[in-house]
């Protein structure tokens, strides 16, 4: 386990460094080229838009050998990043949008592929812990990489950031090739198992998968819904400079790192549904704590929210890996990613509108939605506590 676990954590670190550095730098680069904030923001839309195609992109991974596909996607991403050397002025800004879109497609394919590949590298009892470690590594990079990317951009320009970001997927491809996959590859899906309905049937037909995925979708959507309220609380209610948001985001990141280190143990002991519900409640508590008119309390609440949010995601991913037939893991993972991350695109503008009713309104509403979802799960039909060791999945 140690070799593969170390490789997967290293993959998360390197992927997070390259993508997070480029994510911020691309917006700055477009802003410098076009002097348009709206165009700069569209770069992020290009990154997130492909998640809506998750069910179909995930299906690609069920029809082809998963590791070669993931390696090929990483190498193609590196080549796309190097194309940014052609950017010399506003006329080539479209290339940055194109590369951002390529990043979005690669996110969907690699995330779904990695979710499907992990059961080939670890026993079911080990999946929760490894998913938690990967989550901590990714959150850690979110704290460091954007600053590194912005600093490198300020020092050497966008081409230097493109080179740094292009090196990362090449190294990641090498690490994927070094994995030891000892389990038997799955049979290709039958004709009856192909298409969007097959992924939806597995995702929503089994309570052990459906419940954690819905809890994660609710929590992630509410994290977007509270963004405007979070900003307004800091600047309007606490009368602090906007730069203090960096401190709070760092606090949330620290909570996410700490939460990721222990979540695997809890999933093994209590099951994914229980951990997903606990994470949803913790995120709700964090939302309510951010309503308090005292910045140390808001900072503590950000740490609590940072613990809860990745718990819901790790619980959902582990439930999928443990209960999905191996031949459908790519399709189900891609569909789940759309279900979990797609609603945030609608939640963010809704939250921006709700903040006009008061800074605390989105935060209180989000807490209410999360607590209602957790209560519904608690009072609904019982979901068997799925110890990871009860099933062996192959991929």
Q: Could you say which DSSP state residue 194 is in?
A: -
Q: Could you say which DSSP state residue 184 is in?
A: P
Residue by residue, pLDDT tens for the chain (395 residues) are 688 999 999 999 999 888 888 887 888 898 889 888 668 767 777 887 888 888 778 777 777 788 999 999 999 999 999 999 999 999 999 999 999 999 989 988 998 888 888 888 888 888 888 999 998 888 888 778 877 888 888 899 999 999 999 999 999 999 999 998 875 445 555 544 455 566 677 777 788 899 999 999 999 999 989 988 988 898 889 998 876 877 887 888 889 999 999 998 999 899 999 999 999 999 999 999 999 999 999 999 999 999 999 999 999 999 998 888 877 787 888 888 888 988 887 888 899 899 899 999 999 999 999 999 999 988 866 554 444 333 333 33
292: how many CB neighbours lie within 10 A of its CB?
16
> What number of CA atoms fall less than 13 Å from residue 376's CA on the CB side?
12
Mark out the alpha helices in 184-243 (DSSP H runs): 196-205, 207-225, 227-232
Is residue 282 within 8 Å of 371, Cβ to Cβ? no
Q: Could you give the CA distance from residue 219 to residue 160 in angstroms, rounded to a whole number?
A: 36
Cα-based distances in Å from 119 to 88, 114, 329:
45, 9, 10
Q: Could you give the CA distance from residue 337 to residue 110 in angstroms, rounded to a whole number?
A: 12
Which pLDDT score, from 0 to 100, does residue 390 have? 38
> What number of CA atoms fall less than 13 Å from residue 342's CA on the CB side?
15
Is residue 28 within 8 Å of 145, Cβ to Cβ? no
Q: Could you give the CA distance from residue 341 to residue 58 in angstroms, rounded to a whole number?
A: 15
Which pLDDT score, from 0 to 100, does residue 391 have? 35
Is residue 27 within 8 Å of 40, Cβ to Cβ? yes
Which pLDDT score, from 0 to 100, does residue 235 have? 87
Give the chain's end-to-end CA distance (angstroms, integer): 16
Cα-based distances in Å from 6 to 48, 131, 182, 187, 280:
28, 12, 16, 28, 29
């Amino acid at each position: 386990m140690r070799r593969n676990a170390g490789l997967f954590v290293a993959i998360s670190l390197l992927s997070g460094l390259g993508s997070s550095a480029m994510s911020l730098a691309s917006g700055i680069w477009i802003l410098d080229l076009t002097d348009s904030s709206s165009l700069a923001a569209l770069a992020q839309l290009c990154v997130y838009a492909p998640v809506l195609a998750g069910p179909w992109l995930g299906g690609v991974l069920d029809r082809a050998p998963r590791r070669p596909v993931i390696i090929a996607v990483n190498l193609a991403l590196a080549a796309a990043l190097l194309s940014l050397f052609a950017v010399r002025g506003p006329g080539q800004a479209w290339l940055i949008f194109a590369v951002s879109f390529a990043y979005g497609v690669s996110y969907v394919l690699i995330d779904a592929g990695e979710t499907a590949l992990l059961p080939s590298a670890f026993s079911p009892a080990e999946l929760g812990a490894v998913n938690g470690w990967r989550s901590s590594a990714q959150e850690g990079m979110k704290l460091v990489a954007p600053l590194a990317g912005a600093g490198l951009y300020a020092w050497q320009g966008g081409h230097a950031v493109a080179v740094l970001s292009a090196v990362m997927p090449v190294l990641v491809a090498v690490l994927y090739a070094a994995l030891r996959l000892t389990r038997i590859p799955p049979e290709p899906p039958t004709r009856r198992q192909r298409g969007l309905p097959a992924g939806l049937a597995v995702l929503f037909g089994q309570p052990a998968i459906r419940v954690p995925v819905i809890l994660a979708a609710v929590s992630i959507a509410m994290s977007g819904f509270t963004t405007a309220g979070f900003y307004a609380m800091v600047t309007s209610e606490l009368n602090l400079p906007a730069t203090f948001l960096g401190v709070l985001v760092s606090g949330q990141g620290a909570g996410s790192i700490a939460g990721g280190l222990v979540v695997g143990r809890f999933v093994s002991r209590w099951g994914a549904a229980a951990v997903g519900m606990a994470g949803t409640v913790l995120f709700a508590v964090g939302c309510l704590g951010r309503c308090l008119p005292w910045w140390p309390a808001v900072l503590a609440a950000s740490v609590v929210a940072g613990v809860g949010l990745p718990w819901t995601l790790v619980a959902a991913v582990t439930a999928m890996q443990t209960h999905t037939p191996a031949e459908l893991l790519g399709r189900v993972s891609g569909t789940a990613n759309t279900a979990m991350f797609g609603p945030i695109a609608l939640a963010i503008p809704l939250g921006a509108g709700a903040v006009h009713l008061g800074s605390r309104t989105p935060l209180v509403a989000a807490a209410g939605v999360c607590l209602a979802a957790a209560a519904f799960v608690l009072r609904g039909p019982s979901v068997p506590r799925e110890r990871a060791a009860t099933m062996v999945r192959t991929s």
